[in-house]
Structure 1
Amino acid sequence: MKVNPTGYRTALLHQGAPVPAVKGISKPMKPGGYADGSADIAFALKRAGETIVTPVSNPEPTADLEWSFPDTVSGIREAIGQGANVLWANTVLHSKHAIVTLRDELAARDVRVFGPSPLSAEKYDDKEWTNRWLSTQEGLIGYFPKALLYGTSGSTSSLDAEVDDFPLPAVVKPIRGRGSHGVVRVSSKEEMRAAIEASLKESDAVLIEQYLSGEEITITVMPPGTFSVVGKKTEHWALPVITRFDQINGVAPWNGTVPVTANSRVVTSAEAASDLSYAAAQQRCEIVARLVQATAPIRIDCRRDVEGGAFFLFDVNLKPNAGGAGRPGRETQAALTTMSAAEIGWDWSEFAVNLLRTARPVKELLAE
């Protein structure tokens, strides 16, 4: 095993506090703030020989919070004070994040960050705006589902008729969601109204979206860089396609309830060769990654409108949930992104090291 392959001293960050509301719309905080995934990542990097900075000197493999720091000003300063020169931001980033607050201090110390730009993450976290904007871009026109934004500030009475006329079945989801949290498939006007009311208890706005009844897939797009196995990549590039199955009422269950390894698999090379829709979806996802100027992997969920049809893009995630098994008790915790990486020959630890190599200087990451 090579000692410290990247030469970095890396600290993992988990979410330490709820994300501030943006235009009255809140993003729900995952219980534990991704500390479990952060521990998985830190454990894998340490196993690969990387130097990992942790809150305690010898973290227990099963103790989530001993492997990462909260993504607060004090948490980041503690990590830097212990010698970290790379921050792996396994958290929800936004324009008021501590990384933005400390940008000058971090830049002066030549600190790098792995993750999306906090400024971009907040902008593209608005699923309704992002899909509407992307659907007008060359190469993507016609490949997003019909959608309706409901519950914006001011009177919604003018939207009521549109809601009643919206084609059923449909999907009701938060504007700034987290995975499948709050995502509901509805088949009647009564179910639609109930789902909207429930969603509006957490957010000031809700997205109503055309239900796509065909196959669901997930595509991870990697940033440019130099990697093991595949070499130098000068453009954003897609990992192999993952197909999803065993949805519950038309919605993929949260991975905390059903591990993705139980309801997902890689599309085989024979399947991809016989159905060019997969490659076409990968190409469209690469266009998205270039448009959002992704600095880290992004994950895009797609579905066919009908079986055998073209894939529509419906959920762009700048935080892809890259994680993998390795820690005791976490044997089923492979992520969709990690499953794709395994198909090209990366085990979880090697994939984590390759991701770490794409960490960017704070000044570059926050360039506007």
Structure 2
Amino acid sequence: MSQAYRVAVLHQGGPVPAVGGVIKPFKPGGDGLGYTDSGADLAYNLRKRGESAVTPVPDPVPTRDADWSFPDTISGIRSAVFEHGANVLWANTTLHSSHALVQLRSELASRGVRMVGQNPLDTEKFEDKEWINRWLNGQPGLKGSFPRSMLFQKGHAKETLEGFGVPAVVKPIRGRGSHGVTLANTVLELHVAAERLLAESDAILLEEYCAGEEVTVTVMPPGEYTIVGTKSSYWSLPVVTRFNHKDGIAPYNGIVAVTANSRALSASEHDADPSYATLQRQCELVAELCRATAPIRVDARRRGDGQGFNGEFVLFDVNMKPNATGPGRPGRELQASLTTMAAEMIGWDYRELIVNILKQARLVADVIRQ
């Protein structure tokens, strides 16, 4: 058991506030609440692995998602800590500057509560895809490593949209999975995709389409781990390559399980192409710049004709909250996440992965830095 931790998993208890007229879509779980499905996977499998995971009901049913996690509201967090005795909060939810964890920071700090997750004050900035890509693209070691892009807002002239050119990817500024992400091959498709997203938010992102191989890299924070030992700096799990795209875009895992369109690279595949190691170093730098206190996942593609597996990668999406689903509960056999698939290549199954993540839990006072 990890240092006598009593962990409570948090799910998204309601919509996230808009930032500058831009919203992050609500992610429904199996019971109509955000991330209760993956929250149940976490709490259930932590228990099965011998960890103490507290739940809002005394005898949670394995197949009933909402039995296993607490809403990330003030009342939900207080219930987890003050009524159920949790001393670690796993923030399996969308974080932002007005989040309940920020409001309760002093209370939680006074009790020595730890958390698994990012600083909500940082996360709100970093989940703005236009801002973070532009900011990172200007940092030493990352210059030129992001695709050409443009912010398009309501009221901008149509000629501005058309001037970006096609093919182009149209995506939300604060996205969730593949929600709303569209490849536009014609000017008409560009207009249709833009109008659809502008009905949800005041601004969208246009991005150069890179047609080559797509991969994703999970970066872990420094710490003590099983199998791999002590890591004094940010480090990458094996690269996962993705395939079977739909209309040029990797489909949302809630529709197509990632086990059907992704696989981790073998050591020999990785070593045969130095660009994979270069990409991993870039992703580790991203994590360092973002001051990540929990795993992040970075998506990248090669520029190319859609068939090529040659050339350098372009980073296009920094995910401060990787998908946390995993097998173990009844009916969840195919719910491995991209991070889980990568972890298996170093000898961690889903339960070993999440226990290792839990072991890196940090004091709330250290994570939520003003």
Q: Structure 1, residues 92-113: CA drift from partner, whole Å, max 9, x if none?
A: 0000000001111111111111
Q: Following TM superposition, by how much is the alpha carbon of 1:84 offset from its aligned partner in structure 2, in angstroms?
A: 0.3
Aligned counterparts of 2:189 and 2:369: Cα–Cα separation in 1: 44
Match of 1:53 in 2: 54
> SS of the counterpart of 2:206?
strand
> Which of the numbers 262, 267, 270 marks the counterpart of 1:269?
267
Aligned counterparts of 1:142 and 1:161: Cα–Cα separation in 2: 26
Matched, 1:85 2:87: yes
Q: Following TM superposition, by how much is the alpha carbon of 1:137 offset from its aligned partner in structure 2, in angstroms?
A: 0.6
Q: Following TM superposition, by how much is the alpha carbon of 1:309 offset from its aligned partner in structure 2, in angstroms?
A: 1.4
Aligned counterparts of 1:91 and 1:264: Cα–Cα separation in 2: 24
- Count of aligned pairs between the two proteins: 361
Q: Following TM superposition, by how much is the alpha carbon of 1:45 offset from its aligned partner in structure 2, in angstroms?
A: 0.4
Match of 2:181 in 1: 183
Question: Identical aligned pairs, as a percentage?
Answer: 57
> SS of the counterpart of 1:83?
coil
- Counterpart residue identity of residue 287, structure 2: A
> Which of the numbers 254, 262, 284 marks the counterpart of 2:282?
284
8 Å CA contact 1:225, 1:232 repeated in 2: yes
Q: Following TM superposition, by how much is the alpha carbon of 1:166 offset from its aligned partner in structure 2, in angstroms?
A: 1.6
Match of 2:42 in 1: 41
8 Å CA contact 1:215, 1:304 repeated in 2: yes
Which stretches in structure 2 are left out of the alignment for 5+ residues? none
> SS of the counterpart of 2:315?
strand
Aligned counterparts of 2:187 and 2:318: Cα–Cα separation in 1: 27
Match of 1:327 in 2: 329
Aligned counterparts of 1:102 and 1:278: Cα–Cα separation in 2: 41
Q: How does 1:1-368 map to 2 (within 5 A)?
A: 4-32=1-29, 33-80=34-81, 81-151=83-153, 155-157=155-157, 160-306=158-304, 307=308, 308-368=310-370
8 Å CA contact 1:172, 1:184 repeated in 2: yes
Which stretches in structure 1 are left out of the alignment for 5+ residues? none
> SS of the counterpart of 1:254?
coil
Q: Following TM superposition, by how much is the alpha carbon of 1:268 offset from its aligned partner in structure 2, in angstroms?
A: 1.4
8 Å CA contact 1:6, 1:353 repeated in 2: no
- Counterpart residue identity of residue 56, structure 1: V
8 Å CA contact 1:15, 1:92 repeated in 2: yes
> SS of the counterpart of 1:113?
strand
Aligned counterparts of 2:25 and 2:350: Cα–Cα separation in 1: 28
Aligned counterparts of 2:243 and 2:156: Cα–Cα separation in 1: 36
Q: Structure 1, residues 18-67: CA drift from partner, whole Å, max 9, x if none?
A: 00000110000111200000000001100110011101111111010000
> SS of the counterpart of 1:58?
coil
Aligned counterparts of 1:295 and 1:10: Cα–Cα separation in 2: 17
8 Å CA contact 1:88, 1:114 repeated in 2: yes
Aligned counterparts of 1:241 and 1:105: Cα–Cα separation in 2: 40
Aligned counterparts of 1:167 and 1:266: Cα–Cα separation in 2: 34
Aligned counterparts of 2:215 and 2:280: Cα–Cα separation in 1: 10
> SS of the counterpart of 1:314?
strand
CA pair 44-6 structure 1, distance change in 2 beyond 3 A: farther
8 Å CA contact 2:2, 2:359 repeated in 1: no
- Counterpart residue identity of residue 230, structure 1: V
8 Å CA contact 2:2, 2:358 repeated in 1: no
Normalised TM-score (structure 1): 0.97
- Counterpart residue identity of residue 139, structure 1: G
> SS of the counterpart of 1:122?
helix
Normalised TM-score (structure 2): 0.96
Q: Following TM superposition, by how much is the alpha carbon of 1:327 offset from its aligned partner in structure 2, in angstroms?
A: 0.2
> SS of the counterpart of 2:171?
strand
Q: Following TM superposition, by how much is the alpha carbon of 1:143 offset from its aligned partner in structure 2, in angstroms?
A: 1.0
Aligned counterparts of 1:233 and 1:323: Cα–Cα separation in 2: 25
Q: Following TM superposition, by how much is the alpha carbon of 1:296 offset from its aligned partner in structure 2, in angstroms?
A: 0.4
Q: Structure 1, residues 111-142: CA drift from partner, whole Å, max 9, x if none?
A: 11101111111110000000000000111111
